[in-house]
Amino acid sequence: MIELFKALSNRKGLEILHGLKHPEKHFPPQDEGDVHTVGVCFSSIQEGVGLSQSTVSDYLATLQRASLVEVRRIGQWTYYKRNEATIRALAEILGKGGS
């Protein structure tokens, strides 16, 4: 839970998470796999946010630790998509009695 807020506290983290909601608007198209079912591949995200490879990897790891994104590896590529369940739960906590 603490990990979750920490991940959300980050500008770029939020930017990635938002971008993953509408990938075609925020990230360049990828060669294989539908962005909404499989997810967005790493390099596409990296290009979209415009940070170094290692930095983007760090952010994605943080988002994953907070289970704000789901990760799927296919061959040599890694695909990321939002974990809507976690996000919905957080929204509920915020909206109702929560923090």
The correct pick among 26, 70, 77, 86 for binding DNA (CB under 7 A) is: 77
Instruction: Kindly state the smallest distance separating residue 65's Cβ from DNA, in Å.
Output: 9
User: What Rg value do the Cα atoms of the chain yield, rounded?
Assistant: 13
Binder of DNA out of 1, 9, 25, 29 (CB under 7 A): 9
CA–CA distance, 62 with 67 (Å, rounded to integer): 9
Distances (CA, A) of 87 to 32, 44, 45: 26, 22, 19
DSSP H or E stretch at residue 33: none
Residue 98 touches which member of its own copies, DNA, none, C-beta under 5-8 Å by kind:
its own copies
- 61 or 88: whose CB is closer to DNA? 61
Please state the closest distance from residue 76 (CB atom) to its own copies, in A: 30
Q: Under the criterion CB under 7 A, does residue 66 sit at the interface with DNA?
A: no
Give the C-alpha separation, 47 to 54, whole Å.
Answer: 12
Distance (Å, rounded) from C-alpha 34 to C-alpha 4? 27
- Residues near DNA, by CB under 7 A: 6, 9-12, 41-43, 46, 51-55, 57-58, 60-61, 71, 73, 75-78
